[in-house]
A and B are shown apart, each in its own frame.
Chain A
């Protein structure tokens, strides 16, 4: 049995996810194995069997069914949990979209992995990017502690009456999921206090009060429903900050809400980074600062809703900006770059888009240094093509 009290443990992100789920007390879990999230499937089965978690564990036959089961259970009024990666997320796509549209506050962990082809099991964000328009909140995390903390916060954000939207917590496959790090597991009492039991006040299936969910809505009524989805996404920005602040107040870990930053106070050059690459970039920022270079980083946490105002405020006085993308919208740019440049519309700050780490290629300190060097050499000029492939054979750096 897991201790009920607070304790520190050396665990992988996959185990941190499973223990966070135990602390959040979902009532229905449906998961299907896919690398690199498979250990979660096993951990949760064990925690349900051991009595650590009192939940219905459904051994579904596919990710499509995993998302269906949790969505339908959530629609029946109970808290749920699932996790997946890559092809599994793509396979459940139509149900992912339905879940967002039905305002079902499902929490899902995604172990980011490349989407074929070419095939691969290593980290990339090409799995979650295609889901950005399905009305799910999307948050990227940096380390195992943030994974644990964010799963707990995710329920509180998703279930807020002003939000009522599902959320995917995105963590780099293998780099996080299979790497052990010290995690402080909050006590059950503290989590219960922060995250009370789920009591749906909105629509759910109840024979005493029959209503329908998910039905066909003709053009006469359709736009209003979609408008409300957009409003809920907008409302989420405030709720994310509130939940972050409450968590920081209680547990002394402040993740900044929508975005975070490092040594940006007087920075001339900044990189916008996500996921585990943030940690590598921190080290590079320190190294370059020691040499007197005024560099900083912006850690993008939430991709949906996208923190337009926060990004603009953070970057408006920077001399040149680099945006890191671990995925690419072929024929356009990296998805995060597109959003950042959009947020900076009207500004003339030179900006580059660094495509790195695709298919799990290592992102080394020297790669981050190359990124900083490239933006510091821009001489106040916008490039003709903003895209720069990093550590790619045949591409000169």
Chain B
């Protein structure tokens, strides 16, 4: 499916209350243009559950189930198993959760669902912090970035920790399908969502999402940032299908400083910290590269 083939309006309908420039809304719109009517969705407490589903206003024109913060993968499991006994397992059971709901409080049941190879499509919109509750650091918050719980005072550099690599954690589960996307590479985005839509088993896709208030940026630069994130190597585009890893775009590894300094959350950053991030990016790429080279282990 090409971009021009997609319906202009999908089943995530207009009129939500997302912030201007919110990339999570952009992700939801594009996912639903691809998935279509034969889908059941679930969003845990997060920005998206607030801006897209407060009674009586609902932006999801599909059956929609809202549960707790930590149990999206189990919620999808319950729906999926119930559909199976009803003979309706052609329906896509899709969850859309934030990075905290996925990698922190939701990691336990996500791991279990991956291990059991539940027939679900789990999509994480990773905006790299608990943005909904007012910008607290999550397990996906980048090194040296500001948040309300990683302040820049009294010599503190912001977040002292590095983000967890959820795709790699799920690859360690031998998950059926693991991929990352950026809406700036929309054809790659469409291909992966469409592929996942038509697969069975546990599928995980992580989309980089820009939060204007958490990243402290002007509302129009989100699309630019998710492109630069890929070019700098800050966000790796990959997919791992039944154990076979493909890296979809080789980064240029340039422009990291400019990319970071466009974001208010990094405005305090020093060159030595940028150097630490650059090293971390390179190391992570090398790990993925070596995993890609290990594809022959299956043969």
Contacts and interface: CB of A to CB of B under 8 A. Distances in A.
B78 A216 contact: no
B65 A214 contact: yes
B82 A214 contact: no
B291 interface: no
A55 interface: yes
Contacts of B49: 215-216
Interface residues on B, range: 35 or more
A56 interface: yes
Contacts of A55: 85
Contacts of B60: 210, 212
A62 interface: yes
B112 A77 contact: no
Contacts of A59: 116
B63 interface: yes
A209 B111 CA distance: 32
B132 to A, nearest CB: 12
B65 to A, nearest CB: 5
Contacts of B91: 207
Given A72-B67, A205-B79, A216-B66, A27 B85 contact: yes
B237 interface: no
A216 B50 contact: yes
Contacts, number: 145
Interface in B11-58: 37-40, 42, 49-50, 53-56, 58
Interface in B71-115: 71, 74-79, 81-86, 91, 108-109, 111-112
A62 B109 CA distance: 8
Interface residues of A, number: 40
Contacts of B111: 61
B85 A212 contact: no
Interface of A: 27-28, 30, 55-56, 58-62, 64-65, 68-78, 94-95, 98, 205-207, 209-218, 221
Interface of B: 37-40, 42, 49-50, 53-56, 58, 60-68, 70-71, 74-79, 81-86, 91, 108-109, 111-112, 116
6 contacts: A30-B78, A58-B78, A95-B67, A205-B79, A212-B60, A213-B65
Given A59-B116, A61-B112, A221-B56, 17 more contacts: A28-B78, A28-B82, A28-B85, A56-B81, A61-B111, A62-B108, A62-B109, A64-B74, A65-B108, A68-B67, A68-B71, A68-B78, A71-B75, A72-B77, A98-B67, A213-B66, A218-B55
